[in-house]
Amino acid sequence: MIRTLKACACIAILLFTPSPSLAAEPVDTAQSIIQNQIEAFLNDDAETAYSFASPQIRQKFPDKSIFFEMVKRGYTPVYRPGNFAFGRSKVEGDAVVQEVLISAPDGKDWTALYFLIKQPDGSYKINGVQMLQQAPGPEI
């Protein structure tokens, strides 16, 4: 009987403990989407870049060229990053917030917070980006 209870407890722990691969899946997906969109910007591929935008963003910018121009003018570090790396991420329900650390062409460092939301078809789309300029570090 004790063995049976221990076995049931082990099964319950396995069933109700989130799998690391399941927890990482939305983050991996979000990072792939962000990387693909940045590559599309670098290749001046407005159609592909626009394909990662959520319906809410598409409603604000109903044409890929309008969207592309908005990114060029307002999000230059994302449009033409020198280097970028993924930072912290957070998953809350059907939303992922992904930090992207960017070195802009002018040498300034930025943090871009990408907000992605899960769509009814199960895919994730970028629903916004907040840019935060990093304070300059000490000169060496």
| Residue 21 DSSP one-character state | H
pLDDT, one tens digit for every residue, the chain (140 residues) = 444 434 433 333 333 334 344 446 999 999 999 999 999 999 999 999 999 999 999 999 999 999 999 999 999 999 999 899 999 999 999 999 999 999 998 889 999 999 999 999 999 999 999 999 987 666 66
Phi first, then psi, for residue 63 (nearest 5°) are: -135, 140
78 with 132: CB under 8 angstroms?
no
Question: Which residues, in sequence order, are bridge partners of residue 96?
Answer: 91, 116
Q: What pLDDT is recorded for position 138?
A: 64
All structural domains of the chain with their residue ranges? 21-133
The CA-CA-CA angle for residues 50, 94, 121, to 5°, reads: 60
Neighbours of 69 (CB within 10 A): 13
Class of domain 21-133: alpha beta
